[in-house]
Chains A and B, each alone.
Chain A
Amino acid sequence: MSPAGVRDRLNVSIKQKSYRAASGEQLLVLGELAFSLAGGEVAALVGPSGCGKTTLLRIIAGLDRDFEGSVTLPAHGTLGMVFQEPRLLPWRTVEQNVRLAAPQATDAALDTLFQALSLTAHREHYPGELSLGLARRVALARAFAVEPDLLLLDEPFVSLDDALAARLRDELADLVDRRPVTTLLVTHNVEEAIGLADRLLLLSLSPARVLGDVPVTRPRTPRTPQELAAMREEIAERINQAYL
């Protein structure tokens, strides 16, 4: 799909991933699960809570190596990740937090990034002085500052109010448009997925498998409420079909 070819692809092929519960029994979290993303493609992993989305993301990020299967990162394999919580270092300022993760980022690049995320006024603040929405922005800035080959977003806008989440979503879409990056977004918010992604990967309840692969036609915006409702219905239908 992309001219850069296979080297830019993210290939995920998991045979199985299980946890040993405290009681000693093996819990299968991920079943046979495979997909691949072309360079610059934005995919959303959509599935019910607790289906193993975060586990899958941890495996792809290399934080969990205890699984059967293989993951090939795009060339260079530089990762940018936004966790469910901002995960900033509370004892370092906003700017230091970003610079520590991205020591090679130039001043000009950071200026642009802080500007785009309206963080310029907060560069010298400590995370404890920020609202959750601002802290999330810093986490986004950090992930983009490393100029990642793969961007992993784990429900980056969960527990924000709708208006703020929508604004951050737009800012994220802008950033991705400006500097295309292969992106995997975990969410259970279908609207969010449609708003950001080129493809939706629908996951089943655990053990998670890919139930469906839904392309999202561009342009993504603007979309009428009717269109959104229609898409949501279609997705719900596909998920239901898979359970029958």
Chain B
Amino acid sequence: MGARLISLILLIAAWYAGSRLAGARLLPDPEAVALAIVDEARSGALAFNLGATLARVAVAFTLAMALGSVIGLVMGRSRLADRLGDPWLIVLLNLPALVIIVLAYVWAGLTETAAIAAVALNKLPIATVTVREGARSLDRALDDMAEVFRMGAWTRMRHVVLPQLAPYLAAAARSGLSLVWKIVLIVELLGRPNGVGFEIGVAFQLFDVTRILAYALAFVAVMLVIETFLVQPLERHVSRWRPRSA
């Protein structure tokens, strides 16, 4: 804890120093950015834009995780599905995020659906690959056990398969969350009338570095809170059966 605090203080000190060197226009000092955050929060713009962005993150993330998990599970379990799906996966994995976003906007217009679909499609192949890896390593011995004892499909999914996939799902969720929110900002910058990405786009055109940093920091703070109070407790809960390492 002490080391973290020192590290944080060093970061802020370096920021102050950088601001002195580069000038307030290029790099405003932490105080100015903090004031800008307070200003935006007072006017209600911060909450509104954060809310819009968070909603997009939540929907796109949920869609990508749900679809990616199902497809990954099927591909990991069936050789045929794996052969059929693999080329698609490779194409999607290597398609730049920007291409998917631009095409989505061209084909479906500058709509919310296009924005969310583009983000989900960017995250989908990574979730699929991670969960497929997990599905491939499922324990056949436990499958046999479930078969012999005639466990129902739901029991098997909930008590045999999902606990084995949990570390893979957690990895996919963690990397997915950070990827999704970064892509959501780009989607907003290119074709949405609100959200953190849109605000940063406006600030960029006005060369308002203070506002760019204000929105970026506010959003990072929100994601940190989600990570600390949602993702980590969830991980601890699903791994509670593991014997504690000393």
Contacts and interface: CB of A to CB of B under 8 A. Distances in A.
Q: Do A and B bind each other?
A: yes
Interface of A: 58, 61-63, 78-81, 83, 85, 87, 89-92, 96, 100-103, 126, 128-129, 142, 146, 152
A100 B163 contact: no
B148 A63 contact: yes
Contacts of A101: 145, 149, 151
B243 A146 contact: no
B145 A83 contact: yes
Interface residues of B, number: 16
Contact of A83 (B141, B151, B159, B160): B141
A89 B163 contact: yes
Nearest to A81: B148
B107 interface: no
A232 B225 CA distance: 70
20 contacts: A63-B144, A79-B150, A80-B149, A81-B145, A81-B148, A83-B145, A87-B141, A87-B144, A89-B160, A91-B159, A91-B241, A92-B241, A96-B159, A100-B149, A100-B151, A100-B159, A101-B151, A126-B241, A128-B243, A142-B149
Contacts of B160: 89
B55 interface: no
A41 to B, nearest CB: 20
Contacts of A152: 148
Interface in B194-246: 241-243
B159 A79 contact: no
Contacts of B150: 78-79
A87 B151 CA distance: 14
A142 B149 CA distance: 9
Given A92-B159, A100-B159, A128 B242 contact: yes
A89 B161 CA distance: 10
Contacts of A126: 241, 243
Classify the interface of chain B: helix, strand, loop or mixed.
helix
B7 interface: no
Nearest to B147: A63
A81 B144 CA distance: 10
A237 B150 CA distance: 41
Contacts of A78: 150
Interface in B93-148: 141-142, 144-145, 147-148
A103 B148 CA distance: 14
B243 A129 contact: yes
A226 to B, nearest CB: 40
Contacts of A92: 159, 163, 241
Nearest to A92: B159
Nearest to B156: A100
A85 B144 CA distance: 12
A159 to B, nearest CB: 16
A84 to B, nearest CB: 9
B155 interface: yes
Most buried by B among A62, A92, A100, A126: A100
A101 B144 CA distance: 12
A85 B141 contact: yes
Q: Which 10 A-B pairs have the closest CB atoms?
A: A101-B149, A91-B163, A91-B241, A87-B145, A81-B148, A126-B241, A128-B243, A63-B144, A61-B148, A79-B148
Nearest to B160: A89
Contact of A62 (B147, B151, B163): B147
Given A91-B241, A128-B243, 19 more contacts: A62-B147, A63-B147, A78-B150, A79-B149, A80-B149, A81-B145, A81-B149, A83-B145, A85-B141, A89-B163, A91-B163, A96-B159, A100-B151, A101-B151, A103-B155, A126-B241, A128-B241, A128-B242, A152-B148
